[in-house]
Amino acid sequence: MKKISPALFLVGLLAVAVGVLMPILSNDPFGNAFRYVYAGGAAMTLLGRLFKPSFPKEAPIRVRRLDRMESWSALLFCVAAFFAFYSAPALRDWLAFTLAGAAIQIYCSIALSIALRKKA
**47-51, 71-75, 84-88, range with the lowest pLDDT:** 84-88
What does the pLDDT average to over 55-84?
Answer: 90
How high is the mean pLDDT of the chain?
88
Residue 56 near residue 64 (C-beta atoms within 8 A): no
By residue range, what is the domain housing residue 19?
5-119
Q: Could you give the number of structural domains in the chain?
A: 1
Q: Which residues contact 49 (CB under 8 A, 6 or more apart)?
A: 5, 9, 70, 71, 73, 74
- For residue 89, is pLDDT > 70? no
